[in-house]
Structure 1
Amino acid sequence: MSKIEAYDIKVRKKVLMKNPQPYKMKNGSWALKGTSTETGINLFKIVGRQKPTISQSRFEAIKDLFTSRQCECDKIC
């Protein structure tokens, strides 16, 4: 998934954002919403007037999770 950092208030530092989703605010600007990898709270990062592109969708991430497993025969199936 994408490596997006946002400021986590609880730990007072930048952390990786888990499951970032684009969000359009009332004034027309775009932001990313997600959850913190360390504390699990909601994170919000304003990115500007253009819609952000996230490199990998949820479906592709789940698909990769199941297709990259190793079988009992030591092959990647």
Structure 2
Amino acid sequence: MDRLGEVVRTAQGLLILRVPDDATPDIGTEAVDESLNEVGRVVDVFGPVSRPYVAVSPDDDRRLAPMLGEKLYAR
């Protein structure tokens, strides 16, 4: 399981994560938390090529603000 990134903000119902290295995930990649609970899927990759951001669309009606600072992983 690869680290997807850390949630740095929320915007328009999406979680915005900073990717830790140059291993950019594909759109549609499943995002899970540390307990392997599904959080959502990657819907966009943007920003500088050397260290991009990804937008994750959550699967359910979870509150996004408490997820700030949480690390997510790609499954």
TM-score (norm 2): 0.32
Which one scores higher on RCO, CA 8 angstroms, separation ≥ 6?
A: 2
Larger gyration radius, structure 1 or structure 2 = 1
